[in-house]
Amino acid sequence: MTSKKRHQIILNALRELGGKASTQQIAIATGFDANGVSQSLGAMSGRDLVAMGDYKRGETEWFLVERKTIS
């Protein structure tokens, strides 16, 4: 699977989760490994697709920056 496809799946899951979710919640929603989701989210934050929120109970929360697709 390409990183572009993986990122789109993660963005879609984050949207379905209300635009805010922990790394673990996104991993469960996508069926992807939590470590891989974390790495993808880090790369996506560098592209302003998502933003890192609070760190609570050992989990990082992520937010959609804006609703757009990857081009």
DSSP 8-state assignment for residue 19: S
pLDDT tens readout for residues 11-69: 999 999 999 999 999 999 999 999 999 999 999 999 989 999 888 777 899 999 965 55
Residue 70 in domain: no
Residue 31 in domain: yes
Q: How far apart are CA 30 and CA 58, in angstroms?
A: 20
pLDDT at 71: 53
DSSP secondary structure of 22-50:
EHHHHHHHHT--HHHHHHHHHHHHTTTSE
Residue 54 in domain: yes
pLDDT at 1: 84
Residue 71 in domain: no
pLDDT at 59: 85
Which tokens hold the place of 3? 């990183």
Q: Which domain holds residue 42?
A: 3-64
Residue 69 in domain: no
**How many domains does one find in the chain?**
1
Asked if pLDDT for residue 9 goes beyond 90, the answer is yes
pLDDT at 58: 79
Q: For residue 33, what is the domain's CATH number?
A: 1.10.10.10
